[in-house]
């Protein structure tokens, strides 16, 4: 695996983790302000979904998944997120 790809992935994972921590640390500061609470909650959900995709990619980078398995699981995860309204893009089959 290309080390630049792996390093970029790790930096992205660290950024998402830090952003999740920031959002969680800020939620209590905006308690009582529904607009800010909703915004932060939406941001947290987006970060958690992004984390799911990053975890899947990490499994591929660690060679725990073959390329075909990774693509299959990626499509399945995207379909699940899409059906829950967490991804706005339609599937290619739709």
- Residue 66 located in a structural domain: yes
pTM of the model: 0.85
- Residue 91 located in a structural domain: no
Q: Long-range contact list for 17-23, CB < 8 A, 24+ apart?
A: 17/51, 19/43, 19/47, 20/44, 20/47, 20/48, 20/51, 23/47
Q: Which domain holds residue 76?
A: 3-83
Q: What pLDDT, on the 0 to 100 scale, is given for residue 90? A: 55
pLDDT in tens, the chain (94 residues): 688 988 999 999 999 999 999 999 999 999 999 999 999 999 999 999 999 999 999 999 999 999 999 999 999 999 999 999 988 755 555 4
- Residue 88 located in a structural domain: no
- Residue 73 located in a structural domain: yes
Contact, 18 vs 1, CB < 8 A? no
- Residue 28 located in a structural domain: yes
Contacts for 73 with CB less than 8 Å, ≥ 6 apart: 56, 65
Q: What pLDDT, on the 0 to 100 scale, is given for residue 89? A: 57
- Residue 58 located in a structural domain: yes
Domain count, the chain: 1
């Amino acid at each position: 695996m290309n080390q630049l790809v792996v390093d970029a992935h790790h930096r992205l994972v660290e950024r998402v983790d830090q952003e999740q921590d920031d959002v969680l640390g800020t939620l209590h500061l905006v308690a009582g302000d529904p607009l800010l609470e909703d915004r932060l909650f939406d941001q947290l959900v987006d970060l958690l979904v992004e984390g799911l995709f990053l975890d899947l990619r990490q499994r591929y980078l660690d060679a725990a998944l073959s390329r075909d398995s990774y693509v299959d699981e990626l499509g399945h995860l995207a379909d699940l997120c899409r059906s829950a309204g967490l991804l706005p893009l339609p599937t290619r089959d739709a």
